[in-house]
Amino acid sequence: MTIATVRGVAINHEIVGTRGPAMALTPGGRNPLGHVRSMAERMAAAGYRVLIHDRRNCGASDVAFDPGQSEYDGSADDLHALLAHYDMLPAVIGGASSGARLSLALALRHPAAVRALLLWRVTGGRFAVDRLVEKYYDEYIRAAGQGGMAAVAATEHFAEVIRNRPSNRERLLAIDPRDFVAVMQAWRAHFVASADWPLIGVSERDLGAIRAPALIIPGDDLTHGEETGRNAARLMPGCELQVMTAGTRNIEMADLAEWDAREHAMAAVFDDFLARRLALRRVG
């Protein structure tokens, strides 16, 4: 476990690879960094130095709730600071699902820091918002209202975060439940407000403002629909689309093992894209 304190928050992270162009990859959901380690290892083998991390409130990083920022803006600023800490800017930024949302937020907030974007299984639309808002916010709002921060600490996600970093229990219990609910509600409102946007948290205008070369690999389920990825790619100048599935299936979310099986092919697509668009190629 490697910890760096950025913006007042202890962030667990790893750097995979020892040389080559800088890259940062972020997993989907609120999953820990292990969910993207395999892809990081593939990209490191292709000649990149890849940073992976647990976002705040995830994995073995600190719990911390900033009422002044949306969840993804805060996480984007954390990643930017972490990359700066290691002199890894500008970098190729990528991620799946919520990791793609973070990547896009970073590109919008810190455009000079992003050499290119690698985005897969992007999320958008009312189905995705309605499904994810319960998972990300409503569960914890209810828990805090019914049983205070002890109940929040007992939820599956935060219990895991406490197991990974035991000091998080004290941090959680020290929060006034009313303050916690206020942050969750503010984050929820930002999330829900984008239900009719091309991607969650990213408007059509935002997508049109991104100038970094980008590659989108759409998902194939109702939460990460193929048309969502196709539409986002159309709206981003200089974005390439690579479809690797047979269309959107009538399921809420694909088995992630299916996407794990595509990693070798995806890594090759990423490497080829970066070689063509940025003249980045493996080293040594």
pLDDT in tens, 146-183: 999 999 999 999 999 999 999 999 999 999 999 999 99
Domain boundaries, the chain: 2-124+199-278, 130-190
Mean predicted confidence (pLDDT) in 185-192: 96
pLDDT at 284 over 90: no
Residue 50 has pLDDT above 90, yes or no: yes
- Protein fold of 2-124+199-278: Rossmann fold (3.40.50)
Asked whether residue 235 carries a pLDDT value surpassing 50, the answer given is yes
pLDDT digits 0-9 by tens, 249-271? 999 999 999 999 999 999 999 99
pLDDT tens sequence across 237-250: 989 999 999 999 99
pLDDT in tens, 64-123: 999 889 999 999 999 999 999 999 999 999 999 999 999 999 999 999 999 999 999 999
pLDDT > 90 in the chain, percent: 96
Q: Give the tokens for residue 73.
A: 């803006």
Average pLDDT value for the chain: 96
Q: Shortest CA distance to 277 belongs to which of 37, 18, 21? A: 21
Q: What is the pLDDT of residue 279?
A: 83
3-state per-residue secondary structure call for 18-83: CCCCEEEEECCCCCCCHHHHHHHHHHHHCCCEEEEECCCCCCCCCCCCCCCCCHHHHHHHHHHHHH
The DSSP string of the chain is: -EEEEETTEEEEEEEE-SSSSEEEEE-STT--THHHHHHHHHHHHTT-EEEEEPPTTSTTSPP---TTS-HHHHHHHHHHHHHHHTT--SEEEEEETHHHHHHHHHHHH-GGGEEEEEEES---SHHHHHHHHIIIIIHHHHHHHHHHHHHHHHSHHHHHHHHHSTHHHHHHHTS-HHHHHHHHHHHHHHHHTTTTSSBTTB-HHHHHH--S-EEEE---SSSS-HHHHHHHHHHSTTEEE---SSS--SSSS--HHHHHTTHHHHHHHHHHHHHHHH------
**Residues 106, 76 contacting (CB under 8 angstroms):** yes
Look at residue 1 in the predicted model and tell me its pLDDT: 83
Rounded mean pLDDT, 128-133: 96
What confidence tier does 280 reach under pLDDT thresholds 50, 70, 90?
A: low
Q: For residue 215, list its beta bridge partners.
A: 118, 240
- End-to-end CA gap in the chain: 28
Whole-number pLDDT of residue 237: 94
